Structure formats: structure tokens, C-alpha cells
């Protein structure tokens, strides 16, 4: 593997909030050549000419060194490639591009790829590149305001950790490391599911005691499911685990928590779910079906089980919390 720092090329596939925020931080380094690659020409033009992303950060000036392009052929250059597009399209999109075989691919998207497999697993099978996961408690608004932010790097090759330490050195971005790439990916999906449940609870009860009762039950379910689906228990204690779950479940900037609040207040409709890409809603159905295929009764995981009913059956949402409290294992 060549030394990434010799090339200093960094590409973000996508120019949304997380790509813009992380790209802006890295572009502050003189030894980084950072480009956001997007299908949205107007976004790219504004970044290049006005140094602003009007769609995601309309009131914030970006670094002069941060560039944008609509030319995906740039990916043929050896580089560090961050995937920052929706999980449902990431695999098909990336595998239809010409990517330099020595580029390192980093998945930022949180959700399953095609079918029931993770994005990292699918890309590893289809591309010759090293593919890793980067997940953690990381709201884009905080990152772009240069607040210290942590991620977990999940990679099969431990040598990648030192490369990313160099990339993020002297920035506001920090990382820890695990070889449990599958665990990192699975936790990034599970935390969205359980954030929905915490949102439902908070919509119906203003009770810290109750909130953290359900929070504890959620962590317990996540730990068991992490092991069932091939992750390692200790990964829950990396940044991608408890930290990312707490951020997503307890902060109103979270889309999945917001969905839970809507459900809990009785405002959730199919029309709302069609307008917003919510990884947690999709993931509930996938995990539920996977449990059935493994011969595991989903009601062994009452939060997952109740959310599945919320999304797929006629459901009295006022009974959601009492069913979780009174569930007998």
C-alpha cells in the first residue's frame, strides 16, 4: 500500500452536511487537497465561486481551499475516498465508478446496502480497494464549527489506523480503532432504530427516570443483537457504540429521534416517512426478518418488536411504553 500522505488527495462522494463539514475541516490543512464530488452542479458552483454550501450551511463561509466538482472521473486518481451519500444508493453508485485500485474507501453512510448486507461488506466483495467504516457521535453542525468530534475507524488492516491518524492530526477530529468492521457498521444501524424508541418515550412522558429505564433496555438489546449479527461486544465501548447511540437518541438534531417524537405524538403518517430518508425505519424491518430467519423470536427483543408493529400494523401508540415496561422475558 502506498503512503497516502504522498498524494494528499481526499475526495468526498457527496456534498451534503457531513461531507461539507469534514471536508471543510480537512481543507484547513496545507498538506490536504480536498474535493467534494456531487451530482448537484449548483452546489458545486457555489462552493467554488462563493465558498458557501447554500443547501446545507447557507450562513457559513467555507475554507478557500475546499473545492467541489461534478466530475466523478476524478476518482481514478489515487486518493482517500469518503462515501457520504445515502446508504441505499452507495454501493450501486460506487461500483459504477472508475476508482483507483489503491485508493482507500471510507464509508460514512449509516444503513444497509443492497439487501441485508453492510456497505463495507458489499464494496469489499466488488472492489479491490481496502474498505473501512468511520462512525461516531458526529453531528455535522458541530464538526463544521470546529468542535472536537470523535469517530471509530473499523478496518481489517490495523495499518490503516496510522494513516488516518496522520490525516486527522492537528484537526478537531479524533479516532479510535477496531478490526471489528462489521460491528461498527451494525451499531451505526442499530442506534438509529433505538433512537426512534427513545423519541417515542420522550414524546409521551417528561420523565428522566423512565427515559433512562428504556435507554438501558435499549443498550441491552443492542448488545445482544450486535453479537447475534457478528460484531464484538467490546465495540459497543468504542466511539461508534454508546457515544453514537446517546447522541442520536437524546439530541433533537437527530432525524431518527425526531421520527420517534412524531410517532409518540401521533403525527406519524406514511406521507411523512416518504419525504424523509430515515435509515432506522428501513432497518427495523431488515433486522426483524433476519431474526426470524435465524429462528429467533423477535419478541425476545421487545423494543425492536414493538417498533416493527408500529411501522407495519395498526398500532395504538399510547400502549408503546407500557408494553416495554411490562414485557416479561
- Selection from 227, 199, 233, 217 nearest residue 291 by Cα: 227
Which sign, positive or negative, has the C-alpha torsion 131, 249, 25, 173? negative
149-154/131-135 β-pairing = antiparallel
Which residue(s) pair with 106 in the sheet? 82, 132
Question: How far apart are alpha carbons 273 and 72 in whole angstroms?
Answer: 31
Task: Give the contacts of 286 (CB within 8 A, at least 6 positions apart).
Answer: 112, 116
Give yes or no: 323 in active site: no
Which one from 55, 191, 211, 309 is the annotated catalytic residue?
A: 191
- Selection from 327, 314, 79, 62 nearest residue 220 by Cα: 327
Question: How far apart are alpha carbons 24 and 256 in whole angstroms?
Answer: 26
- Exposed/middle/buried for 36, CB within 10 Å: 0-12, 13-18, 19+? buried
- Selection from 49, 48, 53 nearest residue 21 by Cα: 53
Active site residues: 191
Amino acid at each position: 500500500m502506498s503512503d497516502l500522505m504522498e498524494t494528499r488527495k481526499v475526495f468526498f462522494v457527496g456534498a451534503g452536511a457531513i461531507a461539507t463539514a469534514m471536508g471543510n475541516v480537512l481543507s484547513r490543512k496545507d498538506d490536504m487537497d480536498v474535493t467534494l464530488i456531487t451530482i448537484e452542479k449548483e452546489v458545486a458552483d457555489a462552493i467554488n465561486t462563493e465558498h458557501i454550501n447554500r443547501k446545507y450551511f447557507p450562513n457559513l463561509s467555507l475554507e478557500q481551499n475546499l473545492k467541489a466538482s461534478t466530475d466523478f472521473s476524478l476518482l481514478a486518481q489515487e486518493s482517500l475516498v469518503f462515501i457520504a451519500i445515502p446508504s441505499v444508493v452507495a454501493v450501486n453508485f460506487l461500483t459504477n465508478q472508475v476508482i483507483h485500485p489503491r485508493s482507500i474507501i471510507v464509508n460514512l453512510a449509516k444503513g444497509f446496502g443492497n439487501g441485508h448486507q453492510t456497505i463495507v461488506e458489499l464494496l469489499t466483495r466488488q472492489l479491490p480497494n481496502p474498505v473501512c467504516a468511520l462512525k461516531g457521535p458526529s453531528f455535522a453542525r458541530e464538526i463544521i464549527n470546529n468542535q472536537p468530534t470523535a469517530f471509530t475507524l473499523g478496518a481489517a488492516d490495523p495499518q490503516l489506523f496510522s494513516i488516518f491518524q496522520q490525516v486527522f492530526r492537528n484537526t478537531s477530529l479524533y479516532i479510535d480503532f477496531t478490526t471489528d468492521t462489521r460491528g461498527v457498521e451494525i451499531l451505526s444501524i442499530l442506534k438509529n432504530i433505538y433512537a426512534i424508541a427513545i423519541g417515542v418515550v420522550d414524546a409521551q412522558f417528561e420523565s428522566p427516570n423512565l427515559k433512562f429505564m428504556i435507554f438501558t433496555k435499549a443498550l441491552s438489546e443492542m448488545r445482544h443483537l450486535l453479537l447475534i449479527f457478528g460484531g464484538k461486544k467490546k465495540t459497543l465501548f468504542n466511539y461508534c457504540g454508546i457515544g453514537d447511540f446517546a447522541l442520536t437518541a437524546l439530541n433533537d438534531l437527530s432525524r431518527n429521534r425526531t421520527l420517534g417524537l412524531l410517532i409518540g405524538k401521533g403525527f406519524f403518517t406514511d406521507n411523512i416517512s416518504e419525504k424523509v430518508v430515515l435509515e432506522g425505519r428501513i432497518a427495523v424491518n431488515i433486522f426483524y426478518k433476519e431474526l426470524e430467519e435465524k429462528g429467533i423470536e423477535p419478541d425476545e427483543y421487545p423494543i425492536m418488536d414493538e417498533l416493527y408493529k408500529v411501522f407495519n400494523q395498526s398500532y395504538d401508540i399510547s400502549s408503546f411504553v407500557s408494553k416495554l415496561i411490562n414485557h416479561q422475558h
